[in-house]
Chains A and B, each alone.
Chain A
Amino acid sequence: MRDVSIIGIGQTPVGEHWDLGLRHLGYQALRQAMQDASVDYADALYVGNMLSGETSGQAHLGALIADFAGLRGIEAVKVEAACASAAAAFRQAYIGVASGLQDVVIAVGVEKMTDDVGSTLTAGLASAADADYEVIHGLSFVALNALLMQRYMYEYNVTREDFAGFALNAHANGVFNPNARFQKPITHDSFMKATMIADPITLLDASPMADGAAAVILCPTEQAREFTDKAIQIRGSAVATDSLSVHDRRDPLWLQAAEISSKKALHQANIAPTDLDFFELHDAFTIMAALSLESCGFVERGKGTWPAKDGQIALDGKLPITTRGGLKARGHPVGATGLYQIVEAVQQLRGTAGENQVPNARLGMTQNIGGSGATIITHILENNN
């Protein structure tokens, strides 16, 4: 196994790109990343995407984007793992390079959600859950998360208000991210009064859908210096799965795949959670942020909302999270999100996160969650230049 580093990053703004289709979005991020890495070729391309078949009538994104990017002929496939598709594509790129089979590899995540924001999109997103035993009963993806949040509030005697800090922190950080879908802060009052979607989840507990694409270039660490002096090394990479449906989990309030994948990644990096300078977690809903903090071992069970209440998760806190707005404010173009997290972590580790910079960030963790916890992918990145 070879050490692997990230030598280039690219991203489009997250938002409504009515003028751009999948191929254009994907290419914009990919081109930026190739320019950033000063490479003009690649051995392989892995495309993370969830919904192209449903929202754009387009499958086969590997060949489509490779061709559109002028890379016709290279190995290219789409990788799908619901909302964790982009981290899954990144993981495939990592495996390709680490194994020695490929040298320069591109991972791009791309999603197009604003062409059809009605029932097609809702149904597409719900397809991350169990079609025969969850979705058929009229559950949207939001409703599944609402069932978790309701039970969580009951079991640990917390209220919706206890989750407010996650949304406020994300929006406060989104203000300074020029690529974020929302660049305005929200108030505690607006959080409390937000429109209910599926009780107890409101519009301000949930991340917004959007179009977007993000990309990175990987190569063996020992070759990285030939391309750049700002390479960021991948110190941990792990994927774990759980039952697709919430009702089949041994313990619905425990993200077992988060525990397994974070333990593996931390073990590979030979570090403890307390060594991390920041954590880009998957705050698709405020409840997911709390569950993720617990399952990864940052806080005790039942205390997942505590860090959101005393400034621990702010940029200057003990454990900064969603440092560039997270899914909540940056936006959640589902099959691209995992690579936005990676790109943002690289910015933090390069020291180029601007107003969002975490002081002296050397070690960061990212975690991308597919469905309501069925696929969870954790990566640890380090600036060891």
Chain B
Amino acid sequence: MSTQIARHWRLNSQRYQLVGEVCPNCSGKIFPPRDVCPHCADKERQPDYQFSGKGEVYSHSTVYKVPEGYEEAAPYTVALVKLDEGPLVTAQLTDVANEAVNIGMPVEMVTRKLKTQGDEGLIVYGYKFRPQMVAS
């Protein structure tokens, strides 16, 4: 089975640094990056936008029956995180006990291992969120 290196490589800047876009027309912050603005349908090329990585938990779920490649951390908690700049992102929570998570909890982005994939053990890294260390 292919490890699909290119498929993950081309997403590195959003996965490692939470780089999204800002719409030149409506100033809406966009994550993940798109070709057409989801807020105003503007088709101009949107400049990159560096998200702060801070936000709060919008919803969460502790997953007991996990997909292949994710067994190591099971059971783990996944969340919809509402970024301070607006967009929701889907990610795992880390450095926190599953039972300690609640809606509204302030979180911040960190880069972690997402999964080990394929026969050659390609490791896919990307963003997860942990409780904010310092109140912002």
A: which residues have CB within 8 A of B? 118-119, 122-123, 126, 130, 132-140, 142-143, 146-148, 150-151, 154, 196-201, 243, 245-248, 252
Contact = CB atoms under 8 A, between A and B. Distances in A.
Contacts, number: 103
8 interchain residue pairs of minimum CB distance: A119-B68, A146-B61, A151-B59, A247-B88, A138-B70, A147-B59, A199-B62, A198-B63
**Among the interface residues A126, A137, A138, A199, which one has the most CB atoms of the partner chain B within 10 A?**
A138
Interface in B33-91: 38, 58-68, 70, 73, 76, 78-80, 87-91
Given A148-B59, A151-B58, A139 B65 contact: no
23 contacts: A122-B65, A122-B68, A126-B67, A130-B90, A133-B89, A137-B78, A137-B92, A137-B128, A138-B63, A138-B114, A138-B115, A142-B65, A146-B61, A148-B59, A151-B59, A196-B64, A198-B63, A198-B65, A246-B88, A246-B90, A247-B80, A247-B90, A248-B88
Nearest to A138: B70
A122 B89 CA distance: 22
B5 interface: no
Most buried by A among B11, B59, B73, B91: B59
Nearest to A119: B68
A247 B89 contact: yes
Given A136-B126, A138-B73, A147-B61, 18 more contacts: A123-B67, A132-B11, A133-B32, A133-B90, A136-B124, A137-B91, A138-B66, A138-B67, A142-B65, A147-B80, A150-B60, A151-B58, A151-B59, A151-B80, A199-B62, A199-B63, A201-B61, A245-B90
Output the residue of A119, A132, A135, A201 with the most chain B CB within 10 A. Answer: A132
A247 B90 CA distance: 6
Contacts of B67: 119, 122-123, 126, 135, 138-140
B26 interface: no
Interface of B: 7, 11, 32, 38, 58-68, 70, 73, 76, 78-80, 87-92, 103, 114-115, 124, 126, 128
Nearest to B8: A136
Contacts of A197: 63-65
A119 B70 CA distance: 11
Nearest to B11: A132
B103 A137 contact: no
Contact of A140 (B32, B65, B92, B124): B65
Given A137-B114, A138-B114, A247-B89, A143 B78 contact: yes
Nearest to A247: B88
Given A138-B70, A140-B67, A198-B65, A150 B78 contact: no
